[in-house]
Amino acid sequence: MNNPILRRGLAWLATLFAVHAACFLLVRGVRGGPFDQERSLPPEVEASLRQQFHLDESLWRQYGRSLGQVLRGDFGPSMRYRDVEVGQILADSLPVSLALGGLALGVALAFGISGGLWAAFRRGFGFSLAFRFMTSLFLAVPNFVVAGVGILIFSFILGWLPPAGYGSLRHWILPSFALGLPFAAQIGRLSRNAALEVLESPDFRTARAKGLPPGPLLFRHVLPQVLIPVSAFLGPASAGLLTGSLVIEQVFALPGMGAHFVQAALNRDYTLSLAVTLIYTALLGACTFAADLLAKWLDPRVEAI
């Protein structure tokens, strides 16, 4: 198959099928079921519920039914939230998670690239030491610790930002920074190293010797080369943003998919667990593919997408 885009698309679909099968078998292989916590349920009521959700069928019939629903874009009803479709839960929570991830990515790119360029142009010992210390700190400290320190300072001590909740733009500031700053540190290091290579290159020295102003020097010579390693990092970064958002949504009480993912696992909500896992897998594959396309657009020497 010579078309790399088609090859990646088929691999993405195969991954989704594999994740669906693995998740389906794993959630049903764990001890307990979706109705085990309903202590007051009479046996006949529980039997009726199992029949309603087709849990009385064989495992392979359940798998075939589940696969058919997914292919139709219908995940079925939730087993814990009565009379609520999983699709409705995803429609309400997915925009929150996407907004958080997008804002965190914006924070990571803005602070990472600008900080890396600043550290590259300010190559004194004090500047380099401060940059290495800050990036090492944010890389070493987990994002929930960053979130806790941010809540302590900006919510309880200064009173500038709300500690949790969902509503106004002010509610998004602390979560996006808590999720994005560790990735900003990594992007900052990549940007600094790439910028230093450009600053030492003969092309940059020649352009500076010809009297090219700082603005064109930055945007024509330095920034395009800095964006190449940053774009390659966006694929792994998307995975980190997706998994990290689970914790951040819990810390800041955001009604995103993270809360549903955790609760679905605890409650053995088979349909909701499967749906959230597939959505995260699909998003991860799409983000990685988009990052690969961006890297190839910035650097045509990249052969494989």
Higher pLDDT, 126 or 144: 144
Kindly state whether residue 5 falls inside one of the protein's structural domains: no
**What does the pLDDT read at residue 151?**
92
Kindly state whether residue 30 falls inside one of the protein's structural domains: no
- pLDDT for 104 beyond 80: yes
- pLDDT for 52 beyond 70: no
- pLDDT for 150 beyond 60: yes
Q: How much is the average pLDDT of 236-247? A: 76
Distance CA 181, CA 240 (A): 12
Burial 116-148 (b: 16+ CB within 10 A, else e): bbebbeeeeeeeeeebeebbeebeeeebeebbe
Q: Closest by alpha carbon to 283, among 5, 12, 4?
A: 12
Distance CA 145, CA 251 (A): 10
Distance CA 158, CA 120 (A): 33
- Range with the poorest average pLDDT among 17-21, 29-33, 120-124, 231-235: 29-33
- Structurally, the chain folds into a number of domains equal to 1
Q: What is the pTM of this model?
A: 0.80
Kindly state whether residue 36 falls inside one of the protein's structural domains: no
* 8 A C-beta contact, residue 165 and residue 89: no
Kindly state whether residue 284 falls inside one of the protein's structural domains: no
Q: How much is the average pLDDT of 206-234? A: 74
Kindly state whether residue 227 falls inside one of the protein's structural domains: yes
- pLDDT for 190 beyond 80: yes
Kindly state whether residue 18 falls inside one of the protein's structural domains: no
Distance CA 78, CA 208 (A): 63
Kindly state whether residue 295 falls inside one of the protein's structural domains: no
Q: Which domain holds residue 165?
A: 101-256
**What does the pLDDT read at residue 177?**
92
Kindly state whether residue 270 falls inside one of the protein's structural domains: no
